[in-house]
Amino acid sequence: MKPRYIAIEGNIGAGKTTLARLLAERLHARLILEEFSDNAFLPKFYEDPARWAFPLELSFLADRYKQLKEFLATPDLFAQPVISDYLFIKSRLFAKINLEEAEYQLFSKMYALMELHLPRPEVLLFLHAPLATLQAHIRERGRAYEQNIDSDYLLRVGESYQEFLNSLPIPILILDSSCLDFRDEPQAIEALIAQIDSGMQPGIQYFPWIAKG
């Protein structure tokens, strides 16, 4: 059976939203995009992480839960494919990086209660990219508050995702976004869909696409 709920994840600047839009268009799927542009705490966090980390992570937790609960709790969930450009667990991953231990323990209790009410995606597409690619993408999209993200922070986020991937009991397809541009190579989208629909087993697999030219 073809998966009906596909999530896309990756580091900051990996290209999650771009792939989600292209894949949703090709599959005529409902699209869930993370709502972060109106988060008033995000620019403040990048200016003063120690002061604003806890309210930032709590606000993201609440916003992601509300969005996913409303979107995925409808009766026609599986009548049409669903593509999301984030996983709910990213709240816990970023909280682990950004919060002090006592704050993180409190956060984790709240997260655990919310997670029980959300379905798990059937397939995860994970966009891997080296640091230089992430930094180039961040510069290109031009969000002012992201331009001074520290390299060490991006590396810590990547390490946190790696730990998570090794424990997730669903099919995971890793894509190298440093050599993939689905906008310029539509045949790569077709190859990706074919691999997703091939009956993937739980565990990590790799998308073997090599960019032309």
Closest CA to 182 of 64, 83, 35, 34: 83
Closest CA to 192 of 127, 102, 117: 127
Sign of the CA dihedral running 201, 166, 131, 15: positive
Q: C-alpha 68: how far from its chain's center?
A: 13
3-class secondary structure for 21-55? HHHHHHHCCEEECCCCCCCCHHHHHHHCHHHHHHH
Closest CA to 133 of 178, 99, 67, 101: 178
**Backbone φ/ψ region at 125: left (φ over 0), alpha (ψ -120 to 50), beta:** beta
Residues acting as catalytic residues: 85
